[in-house]
Amino acid sequence: MTERLITSLTNDTIKAVRALHMRKEREATGRFLAEGLKFIGEALDQGRAPVMLLVGQDARPHPLLDRAKAETLKSGGQIIVVTHAILEKISRRDNPQTVLGVFEQVYTPLDAIQPDAKPCWVALEQVRDPGNLGTIIRTADSAGCGGVILIGDCVDPFSVEAVRATMGSVFAVSISKATREEFLAWRASWPGSVIGTRLDATHGYRDSPARHPALIMMGNEQAGLTDDLAAACDLNVKIPMRGRADSLNLAIATGIMVYALTDAAYGEGL
């Protein structure tokens, strides 16, 4: 196998990888960074080999690492061996993973989505927190959803923080993005129910059975779902607040909705 050793923090390749922490660089290159052998394995299982595999000099032998190297080279990618200091700089952690991967971003166009492929999909309007977005992608994967659609000015799903929170599900779940106008035009042809969440809704989240495929629409962490998107829903529902808290974290609320709407489709009780 062909491997290249880099020990300098000022090497142009290392600087380019470090720059992937910045959104403008990810958008310019169409690439993103994923950390850890588990993430690499999840990618390989989905047919996604890294364009660059960075391996620490102290990385222990492992069958999955051998597979990652082989598939990286087979797909035309690079294998670079780096020092611990470089791994720290790239990951911005004192205890970095010993294997990092650089991958191509993949977005699914709205018109390529096949609604009937899965019983449930998630649409998020202007989600701002990368941890929330990553957790929602992971939850959508766990619940058997088809994908996540980002509406408007959302946080980057391929930021290092969001990717970490997905725990590898970023490679398994379809991710789409659209302007509000594009989404509303596309939503008109959705074959199942479109369910929104609003604190001022009169129906509870279990009040009305959904026609699958169901599309769950969740709003911004602070403002919730905007009026025009709420009006595009077949039904708006709320999750009851029984204690002193007046709202739920967006990722938690999305998780409740996802499982409420997928359990019936998969023949399970909540």
DSSP 138-182: HHHHHHT--EEEEESSPPPTTSHHHHHHHTTGGGTSEEEEE-HHH
To which residue do tokens 């398994």 refer? Answer: 172
Nearest CA among 157, 257, 261, 141 for reference residue 209:
261
CA–CA dist 105, 51 (Å, integer): 11
Confidence of residue 267 (pLDDT cuts 50, 70, 90): low
Give, in words, the CATH class of 4-104: alpha beta
pLDDT of residue 187: 95
Q: Where in the chain is the domain with CATH 3.40.1280.10?
A: 110-266
Which residues sit opposite 235 in a β-bridge? 195
Which residues sit opposite 125 in a β-bridge? 151
For the stretch 45-104, pLDDT in tens is 999 999 999 999 999 999 999 999 999 999 999 999 999 999 999 998 888 999 999 999
DSSP 30-52: TEEEEESHHHHHHHHHTT---SE
Nearest CA among 94, 84, 219, 206 for reference residue 152:
219
* Degrees, nearest 5: CA angle 87-93-96: 45
Q: Where in the chain is the domain with CATH 3.30.1330.30?
A: 4-104
pTM, two decimals, is 0.92
CA–CA dist 211, 192 (Å, integer): 5
Confidence of residue 31 (pLDDT cuts 50, 70, 90): very high
Asked if the model's pLDDT at residue 198 lies above 90, the reply is no
Asked if the model's pLDDT at residue 269 lies above 60, the reply is no
The encoded tokens of residue 18 equal: 């470090």
Q: Give the residue ranges of DSSP H helices in the chain.
A: 12-18, 23-29, 37-45, 63-74, 84-91, 130-143, 160-166, 180-187, 227-231, 250-262
How is the chain split among helix, strand and coil, in percent rounded to 5? 40, 20, 40
Choose between 164 and 1: higher pLDDT.
164
Asked if the model's pLDDT at residue 270 lies above 50, the reply is no
110-266 topology per CATH: Alpha/beta knot (3.40.1280)
Q: Cα 48 to chain center, whole Å?
A: 15
